[in-house]
């Protein structure tokens, strides 16, 4: 039995333990999350306590309880085994320190919502005045460090941007970075709001040439399921795309083949990044969990929601900007399916790190496979 078969069998046995209602629940949540993402603007809403079986963890010292991942005895390809560019996205200082020292990693995306967190003034206002300026300086310092490590530095833009966000908006933050001579090499764009914001900067008469050299990579949250959508993403400025996580292997293969036949070379040669590891976000909520409980101190933290199947789903509170993401309990793992991954001919592979410790990041990049994983939609329809 191949390693892959064993793993998929293992996954089946895990899902076999669930009731049929339990099997449906993540799908329902995903559909709901899709609906939210597809709506034009962020909506204020609370995580649905009835659906996720919300446990009040806000008062529990904000600890992410399931701290350590257990790893299976199987392993997949290490990041260096692929012999192709590998990018990672990081959300914590510990993850950043770890990947800076990883030779196999050629590109690091830092999340705008997770680094350069401004101080709070005496009145409790975050990122005002001097504190706001320091934010660009703090991010510039990290970008310089990534460059010194010989890697490309990408900035992953925030998932939700409101006019009421504390501190400077993404646009003025970018302008600040360009002014400091520390522009990122690329932006990882996750919403159409951000895509339009970036194109606004280009067409405006700011005389800012800096942004023309920043590559625009669209994440899987900007849907491009077919050639028409891909061509629309290109019009929005996409220079690189990410394989949609909702498509299975065959659908990804068909999409890439169809894109390659397009007459426009900018489209037919569109490079793709492919996610091979990461806890997938199930839902993004624009409310602040803290504001409704203890009051918000604008610090980022991890919390946990336990669903009715007793699964702990990590919740990341990005209180730099006061929004939250609920992640799937199990991470997506595809780095042990080298044949399938290679046949999709991605130009770059990506590992998204969110809840992992630095030690776990190192293990995963070395090919270790966590015990509980998901294949997402990738293996759907494959037997």
Tell me the closest approach of the beta carbon of residue 291 to Zn ion, in angstroms: 5
Token look-up 């590559």 returns 215
23 or 46: whose CB is closer to Zn ion? Answer: 46
Tell me the closest approach of the beta carbon of residue 326 to Zn ion, in angstroms: 15
Stretch that binds Zn ion, among 180-188, 281-289, 344-352, 355-363 (CB under 5 A): 281-289
DSSP 295-358: ---S--EEEEEE-TT-PEEEEEEETTTTEEEEEPSSPEE-TT-HHHHHHT--SEEEEE-SS--H
* Chosen residue from 151, 290, 350, 363 binding Zn ion by CB under 5 A: 290
Tell me the closest approach of the beta carbon of residue 363 to Zn ion, in angstroms: 32
- Told to check if 296 binds Zn ion by CB under 5 A, we report yes
Tell me the closest approach of the beta carbon of residue 128 to Zn ion, in angstroms: 16
Stretch that binds Zn ion, among 4-12, 144-152, 294-302, 353-361 (CB under 5 A): 294-302
91 or 219: whose CB is closer to Zn ion? Answer: 91
Compute how many other C-beta atoms are within 10 angstroms of the C-beta atom of residue 284. 20
- Told to check if 288 binds Zn ion by CB under 5 A, we report yes
Stretch that binds Zn ion, among 181-189, 270-278, 279-287, 317-325 (CB under 5 A): 317-325
Query: Which residues make Cβ contacts (< 8 Å) with residue 41, sequence separation at least 6?
Result: 193
Tell me the closest approach of the beta carbon of residue 318 to Zn ion, in angstroms: 8
DSSP 83-143: -S-EEEEE-SHHHHHHHHT-TT--EEEEETTTSSPPPB-TTS-BT-THHHHHHHHHHHHHH
User: 73, 71, 376: which is closest to 251 by C-alpha?
Assistant: 376
Stretch that binds Zn ion, among 119-127, 195-203, 293-301, 361-369 (CB under 5 A): 293-301
* Chosen residue from 173, 319, 333, 368 binding Zn ion by CB under 5 A: 319
Tell me the closest approach of the beta carbon of residue 167 to Zn ion, in angstroms: 13
Stretch that binds Zn ion, among 70-78, 193-201, 284-292, 354-362 (CB under 5 A): 284-292
178 or 317: whose CB is closer to Zn ion? Answer: 317
Stretch that binds Zn ion, among 114-122, 279-287, 296-304, 351-359 (CB under 5 A): 296-304
Tell me the closest approach of the beta carbon of residue 115 to Zn ion, in angstroms: 17
Q: In the structure encoding, which two tokens stand for residue 307, read together? A: 């669903």
276 or 322: whose CB is closer to Zn ion? Answer: 322
Tell me the closest approach of the beta carbon of residue 57 to Zn ion, in angstroms: 15
User: 87, 143, 4, 60: which is closest to 312 by C-alpha?
Assistant: 60
| Residues 74-96: b if buried by 16+ CB within 10 A, e if exposed | eebbbbeebebbbbbbbbbeebb
User: 184, 345, 338: which is closest to 271 by C-alpha?
Assistant: 345
Pairing of strands 312-318, 301-306: antiparallel
Q: How far is CA 1 from CA 6, 64, 368, 369, in A?
A: 7, 36, 19, 18
- Told to check if 322 binds Zn ion by CB under 5 A, we report yes
Query: How many residues at the interface with Zn ion, by CB under 5 A?
Result: 5
The crossing angle, in degrees rounded to 10, of helices 249-260 and 227-235 is 60
160 or 322: whose CB is closer to Zn ion? Answer: 322
Chain residues binding Zn ion by CB under 5 A are 288, 290, 296, 319, 322
């Amino acid at each position: 039995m191949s390693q892959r078969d064993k793993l998929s069998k293992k996954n089946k046995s895990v899902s076999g333990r669930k009731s049929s209602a339990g099997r449906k629940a993540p799908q329902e949540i995903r559909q709901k999350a899709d609906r939210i993402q597809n709506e034009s603007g962020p909506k204020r809403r609370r995580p649905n306590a009835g659906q996720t079986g919300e446990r009040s963890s806000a008062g529990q010292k904000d600890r992410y309880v399931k701290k350590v991942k257990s790893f299976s005895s199987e392993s997949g390809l290490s990041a260096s085994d692929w012999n192709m560019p590998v990018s990672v996205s990081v959300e914590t200082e510990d993850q950043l320190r770890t990947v800076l020292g990883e030779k196999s990693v050629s590109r690091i995306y830092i999340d705008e919502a997770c680094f350069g967190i401004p101080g709070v003034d005496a009145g409790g206002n975050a990122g005002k005045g001097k504190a706001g300026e320091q934010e660009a300086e703090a991010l510039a310092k990290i970008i310089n460090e990534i460059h010194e490590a010989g890697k490309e530095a990408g900035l992953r833009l925030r998932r939700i941007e409101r006019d009421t966000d504390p501190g400077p908006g993404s646009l003025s933050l970018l302008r600040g970075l360009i002014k400091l001579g520390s522009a990122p090499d690329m932006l990882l764009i996750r919403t159409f709001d951000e895509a339009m914001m970036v194109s606004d900067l280009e067409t405006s008469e700011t005389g800012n040439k800096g942004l023309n050299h920043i590559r625009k990579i669209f994440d899987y949250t900007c849907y491009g399921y077919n050639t028409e959508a891909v061509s629309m993403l290109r019009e929005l400025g996409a220079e690189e795309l990410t394989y949609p996580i909702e498509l299975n292997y065959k659908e990804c293969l068909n999409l890439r083949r169809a894109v390659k036949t397009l007459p426009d070379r900018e489209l037919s040669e569109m490079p793709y990044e492919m996610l091979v590891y990461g806890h997938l976000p199930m839902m993004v909520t624009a409310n602040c969990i803290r504001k409704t409980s203890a009051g918000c101190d604008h610090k980022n933290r991890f919390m946990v929601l336990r669903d009715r199947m007793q699964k702990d789903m990590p919740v990341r509170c990005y209180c730099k900007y006061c929004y939250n993401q609920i992640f799937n309990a199990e991470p997506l793992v595809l780095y042990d399916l080298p044949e399938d991954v290679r046949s999709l001919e991605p130009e770059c592979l990506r590992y998204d790190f969110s809840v992992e410790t630095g030690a776990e990041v190192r293990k995963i990049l070395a090919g270790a496979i966590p015990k509980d994983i998901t294949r997402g939609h990738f293996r759907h329809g494959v037997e």
